[in-house]
Amino acid sequence: MKSGFHIPSFLIDEIICRSNIHRMAQKALAHGLIFRPHFKTHQSVEVGEWFKDEGIRAITVSSLTMAAIFADAGWNDITIAFPMNIRETDGINHLAGKIRLNLLFDMPQQALVASKKIAHPAGYFIKADVGYHRSGVEPNDHETIQLILKATQGTSLTFKGFLTHSGNTYHANSRDEILGIHNDAIGLLHELKLQYQSLYPEILISIGDTPSCSIAKNFTGIDEIRPGNFAYFDLMQYHLGSCGFDEIAAAVICPVISVYPRRNQALIYGGAVHLSKESIISKNGDKIFGLVVPFISDKWENPQGDDYLVSLSQEHGIFTTESQWSKSLNTGDIVAVIPVHSCLAADLLKK
């Protein structure tokens, strides 16, 4: 790791990240699951090579732009796990002519447009909403499912199965609640697969949230997992119980600008444009935007106390100086911030 940080910088611990990748790859192997990791967290060609070192050859992304970047980097089996943007159909068709591409539909109109305008072979999943209510077709909405399937018959598009993201696990209050959400989701998906398997015997069920994929042991009826955040983890995952602190592989390194002993706070150069305004609630009921920890010899250390970021504006970050370590900080010192959501921090600070 390099030293001499002057501005907010996103730092990755390669050893920890590679360990996280290896552990998830081995878990997928042990459960007989296809491992198609989501690359939206790191968005890094270099980190992508670490996945290749584990034998990974198929990936997930969240946009056509991201798919094109990784296709240019040599990845030729990509799922875009975002409902198809019909305004990008020409670009999708172009990419489908270069790689094995899977799309995502949750409306018949998307399937109709794709069927007419995509000439190259491509797969597609139907997005199932099993409780998160962000996007997708409800599992009992067979009318919509049938309209999507009908629209693609006799075209270049092949139905691959049902895909979901149980993002509601990110709002759980315990590991048991995560497992409850996960088990409910796979139950609904398993029933859905059974209803369509006779007509489409090779269809897959694909799930993707990091909390479930990290702690669950039951993957009955699941064929593929697509977690992404697990490569870095973050403060949210640590609070959820998805990881230990020693499994967090990314931090934002920030200079201390000012200290305010009378109010037990300090200012860092590191604000919403570096960390986002994603927040979680502390055990005391306060909204927090990150955890400030020591940065020594180009390595972040374990937390010394509840030194939480409690306020963010564009460039400013205010944190509470609760520990003896944080009370000793001076202007010009360097600290590490464990972000609430590493995916957003990585995106904001990517080079």
CATH number of the domain bearing residue 336: 2.40.37.20
The backbone torsions φ and ψ at residue 262, rounded to the nearest 5 degrees and listed phi first, read: -65, -25
Distance CA 144, CA 110 (A): 12
Distance CA 145, CA 113 (A): 16
> What CATH number did the domain enclosing 121 receive?
3.20.20.10
Distance CA 341, CA 309 (A): 13
Whether residue 108 is found in the same domain as residue 255: no
Whether residue 179 is found in the same domain as residue 318: no
Q: Is the residue at 239 inside a domain?
A: no
Q: How high is the pLDDT of residue 351?
A: 66
Q: Pick the last residue of a domain from 206, 232, 258.
A: 232
- List beta partners, residue 251: 11
Assign 38 a pLDDT band (cuts: 50, 70, 90).
Answer: very high
Domains identified in the chain, total number: 2
Q: Is the residue at 5 inside a domain?
A: no
The secondary structure of the chain in percent helix, strand, coil, rounded to multiples of 5, reads 35, 25, 40
Q: Is the residue at 243 inside a domain?
A: no
Whether residue 166 is found in the same domain as residue 294: no
Q: Is the residue at 14 inside a domain?
A: no
pLDDT tens-place string over residues 143-162: 999 999 999 999 999 999 99
Q: Is the residue at 240 inside a domain?
A: no
Whether residue 181 is found in the same domain as residue 115: yes
Provide the whole-model pTM: 0.96
Report residue 222 as tokens. Answer: 């699941």
Percentage of the chain modeled with pLDDT above 90: 97
Q: Is the model's pLDDT at 2 over the cut of 50?
A: no
Q: How high is the pLDDT of residue 283?
A: 87
Q: Is the model's pLDDT at 280 over the cut of 50?
A: yes
Whether residue 324 is found in the same domain as residue 288: yes
Whether residue 99 is found in the same domain as residue 164: yes
Whether residue 110 is found in the same domain as residue 145: yes
Distance CA 315, CA 288 (A): 16
Whether residue 209 is found in the same domain as residue 89: yes
Q: Is the model's pLDDT at 118 over the cut of 70?
A: yes
- Which of 339, 277, 269 lies closest to 308 in space, CA to CA? 339
Report the interhelical angle of 89-96 vs 64-72 (nearest 10°).
30
Q: Is the residue at 295 inside a domain?
A: yes
Q: Is the model's pLDDT at 3 over the cut of 80?
A: no
Residue that is written with structure tokens 């996960």 in the block: 182
Q: Is the residue at 11 inside a domain?
A: no
Which range of residues forms the domain containing residue 49?
31-232
Q: Is the model's pLDDT at 123 over the cut of 80?
A: yes
Whether residue 70 is found in the same domain as residue 169: yes
Give 135's DSSP letter. Answer: S
pLDDT tens-place string over residues 230-251: 999 999 999 999 999 999 999 9
Whether residue 179 is found in the same domain as residue 255: no
Distance CA 152, CA 146 (A): 10
Burial of 282 (0-12, 13-18, 19+ CB in 10 A): middle
Whether residue 314 is found in the same domain as residue 185: no
Q: Pick the last residue of a domain from 203, 232, 261.
A: 232
Whether residue 77 is found in the same domain as residue 174: yes
Q: Pick the last residue of a domain from 232, 265, 289.
A: 232
pLDDT tens-place string over residues 4-27: 799 999 999 999 999 999 999 999
Q: Is the residue at 24 inside a domain?
A: no
71 three-state secondary structure: helix
pLDDT tens-place string over residues 281-303: 998 899 999 999 999 999 999 99
Distances (CA, A) of 150 to 121, 144, 147, 162: 17, 10, 5, 16
